Amino acid sequence: MEKTALVCALCVGSLLAVWGPTLAILRRHIPLWLLCISGSLLRIGLFLWSSLFAAPQHADSYKFYYPQAKAALRAGQALFDVRTHYSPLFPYLASVSVRVYDSPASIVAMMVLCEIASLWLVLGLVRRCFDAEPAFRIVWLYALNPIPVYWSCVSGHNGALIHCFLLMAMLLFLRHRDQMSGLLMGTALAVTKCLVAVLHVPFLFVSRRSGRFALFAVGVPALLFLGAAVLNGRGGGG
């Protein structure tokens, strides 16, 4: 019941940004940086509330991410021995937070940090691409959007990690740094989900140097997977 009320409240708040008179009032009194700080505090507060009082045991972070991270931390556990439908290196990334604090909540906390970073990256992106009014509208809608807020800060879904990589890659792409953009997208593919490869397609279509982008976007995960396979072979042989 509480989760339904939360989602409804966030939806109402998001829709207020679409209404012209409300938007004008908000723009006069709330600077974008304050909106981002408020959105960050909302995410932290929601994470703390969920972790302490309403931990979602059915969420992927509890059912899949945490057991796979624990498997990756076991002594003698070779790479690729962890059964997962995510990218092969994702359990090892998740295990970093579990090593710091042995709980599924540590993985959710990592996703919350990625989601907060995404909010500020959205701010940087819209300031570069839009005028003041649409920029404010976009940041407001993202700050109160119930989909990333709930799935990242309550469920700890690894989509928050993908959002963060994608937004960083977009900012670098707009600055004509195709190689670094491809590097980030390739890393996202290696450490999150193989479906991230679909997000490479728009970059390739609009890039002035699509070859350089593709070299890093494909080469980085290929090298990481190859290195992991070599380590796996050594671990299996030992």
Q: Are 157 and 151 in contact (CB under 8 A)?
A: yes
**98 near 66, Cβ under 8 Å?**
yes
| pTM value > 0.85 | no
Contact (CB, 8 A) for 182 and 214: yes
Record the tokens describing residue 12, joined without a space. Answer: 């109402």
How far apart (Å, rounded) are the C-alpha atoms in residues 91 and 102? 14
Helix spans in 80-177 (H): 90-100, 104-129, 132-143, 146-153, 159-174
Stated as kind and residue range, the H or E segment containing 186 is helix 178-191
State the Cα–Cα distance between residues 82 and 71, nearest whole angstrom. 7
Whose tokens are 């709980």? That residue is 103
Per-residue pLDDT of the chain (238 residues; tens, 9 = 90+): 455 655 665 666 556 555 555 666 666 667 888 889 988 998 999 899 888 887 777 888 888 889 888 888 875 555 555 666 678 788 888 999 999 999 999 999 999 999 999 999 999 999 888 888 888 888 888 888 888 888 888 888 888 999 999 999 999 888 888 888 888 888 888 888 878 888 888 887 777 666 777 777 777 777 777 666 665 555 544 4
